[in-house]
Amino acid sequence: MKQIFLDIQTALQNNPPVYALPSGVTLDANGCVFLYNHQLEDLEKGERPEFPQVSFFVEFINPIVYKQGGNGVQFAYFKTRIYIVHHFYLATDGLDGGQGDQDLTIFDLKQWVYITLQQFSPTNTGEMVRTSEAVDYSHDNANVYAMEFDCVFEDIAADAPIGGIPMTPAPTLNPTMTIQD
């Protein structure tokens, strides 16, 4: 699962987006994609420092169900939830573009995440497919959108050779021919 997280992190943070980020939105060069560990709840309690204005949190939804394949390979069907966070503070200086307290940028961000991850294939997985999304209204001064993706993971760590005999690659042949008169 570690490599899957790292692949998602790279897709959201480092790859140039296929779909442009909303106007005026930039991603923090020091990191904006984190493994979910109740950061939003801890921030509300004042127990955690703030994270970048635009942040993404990746959560693997429990339980992850494994099925046995052949020769030690297992397959897991799992859900990944991406929390899209946009800190939005009501502008009192008229710089809110006339939106009042409406954060319309969150909808652009969620569309950007969808286009970036839909049919994305992290290491040893099938394509990610969006299955649901919802607004999370339980946070002050931050708009949060949660999007879920389904995926199938192939765990080959315990792969056993057929019949217990390791397969060795066929020798490389480099035929040469000498012609004599």
pLDDT of residue 146: 94
**Within a domain: residue 57?**
yes
Closest listed residue to residue 34, CA positions, set 53, 14, 8, 15: 8
pLDDT of residue 76: 92
- Predicted model pTM: 0.77
Helix (H, G, I), strand (E, B) or coil at 66: strand
pLDDT of residue 93: 46
**Residue 66: φ, ψ to 5°:** -105, 145
- Name the CA dihedral angle for 84, 5, 120, 40, rounded to a multiple of 10 degrees: -10
| Cβ neighbours of 136 (radius 10 Å) | 14
pLDDT of residue 171: 62
- Chunk the chain into consecutive blocks of 10 residues (it has 181) and report each block's average pLDDT, rounded to whole numbers: 92 69 70 86 76 89 90 90 81 50 82 91 94 87 90 86 59 67 67
- Domain around 71: 2-159
**Within a domain: residue 167?**
no
pLDDT of residue 121: 94
pLDDT of residue 70: 82
DSSP state of 29: T
pLDDT of residue 30: 66
User: For the domain that residue 66 is a member of, what is the CATH number?
Assistant: 3.30.2000.10
CA distance 83 to 91: 24
Residue 82: its H or E element: strand 74-87
CA distance 84 to 94: 26
Say which residues have a Cβ less than 8 Å from residue 24's Cβ, sequence separation at least 6: 105
CA distance 82 to 35: 10
**Within a domain: residue 165?**
no
pLDDT of residue 114: 93
pLDDT of residue 169: 58
Number of independent structural domains in the chain: 1
**Within a domain: residue 47?**
yes
**Within a domain: residue 168?**
no
Residue 10: its H or E element: helix 2-13
pLDDT of residue 45: 80
Looking at this protein, which amino acid is placed at residue 51?
F
**Within a domain: residue 30?**
yes
Output the DSSP codes for 104-127: -HHHHHHHHHHHHHTT---TTB--
